[in-house]
Amino acid sequence: MIKTDAIIIGAGPCGLSAAIELQNLGLQVILIEKGSIVNSIYRYPTHQTFFSSSMKLSIGNIPFITAKEKPQRNDALVYYRTVAELEQLDIRSGETVLSVEKNDGGFTVTSNKAVYQADYTVVATGYYDQPNRLDAEGAELPHVHHYFKEAHPYFRKHAVVIGGKNSAVDAALELERAGAYVTVVYRGGEYSKSVKPWILPGFESLVNNGKVRMIFEGSVDVITTDTVTVSTPNGQEEIRADVVFAMIGYHPDYEFLGNMGIRLDSVSGCPDYNPDTMETSVDNLYIAGVIAAGNNANSIFIENGRHHGELIAETIKKRLQNKIAE
């Protein structure tokens, strides 16, 4: 068994930030990450541009300097690797946490590679590994994807993008630029207000000029190997589709959180936690990052989630000081 002061599950930006804050208290911290460091960002589209400025994405008082105000995916990968190196973070990547159990000595954290004992545990797992599923026949076919990487393979292919927020619009733009024939199906009646303001005019122009077909108030009924059947205000329609991108969002791993003893709101999916300390309904078990938002992932981003580590560290610091005073 490996003993440490704190275990952080997830090495995304918010997990890294929490690790830095706890290390600054003098605690020994181990981060366990089932993928690679900042795995969600690694899985972003190759040419993804962030909504935020680099300054708002920085952690650990280490500046994130880029030539352009809004960094791209690769800029972020380089930055967070550099932070991990400079802060000498102990990151166990490619390791999956199987269980977290509370005991008298703190927590026993069991992974597929080791067993750890820690006084504190921070869950910073994000939500990107759990895509929302389509309620449609054929949704599990192999050409239906919940992640978009690059458009090049779809040159002169018929692509259907399901969704109307940033990930869907970004995918549609990339596909159209690569020469795909693109149809976007969105259940909303108008463009989402969450779409990045600097890309919406260009997307609208493509729609208005017939380069991208936009179907509002549409719902997908059936997906076959080469078609998508959609219900629209004008009736049901069959659309040719060589590939389907279901960009309809993601959610936290509710089962994983529940198995730790964290109470979850049945409607919002939000874990029960104190927003002033980020401590959950289990003593000394904390959450950091977007999982605090439950189903409403658009309310927490790197910009505000990176500060969760500060709240956690301040709470632990006070408890340590009280223990010494006793």
Domain spans of the chain, in order of start: 2-130+250-325, 144-246
φ/ψ of residue 116, rounded to 5:
-120, 150
**pLDDT tens digit sequence for 7-39:** 999 999 999 999 999 999 999 999 999 999 999
CA 285 to chain centre: 21
**pLDDT tens digit sequence for 183-223:** 999 999 999 998 988 899 999 999 999 999 999 999 999 99
The DSSP line for 191-233 is: --TTS-TTTHHHHHHHHHTTSEEEESS-EEEEE-SSEEEEEET
Instruction: HSE, CB side, 13 Å, CA atoms: give it for residue 136.
Output: 23
**pLDDT tens digit sequence for 86-136:** 999 999 999 999 999 999 889 999 999 999 999 999 999 988 888 999 999
Q: Rounded to whole angstroms, how far apart are CA atoms 200 and 213?
A: 15
Contact status, residue 215 vs residue 184, Cβ threshold 8 Å: yes
The CATH code belonging to domain 144-246 is 3.50.50.60
**pLDDT tens digit sequence for 142-192:** 999 999 999 999 999 999 999 999 999 999 999 999 999 999 999 999 999
In whole angstroms, how far apart are CA 260 and each of 1, 89, 271, 319? 19, 25, 11, 22
Residue 275 tokens, joined: 């927003």
The residue type found at 196 is K
Q: How many CB atoms lie within 10 A of CB 29?
A: 23
Q: Rounded to whole angstroms, how far apart are CA atoms 249 and 165?
A: 9
pTM of the model: 0.91
The yes-or-no answer to whether 2-130+250-325 and 144-246 have a common fold is yes
CATH match of 2-130+250-325 with 3.10.310.10: no
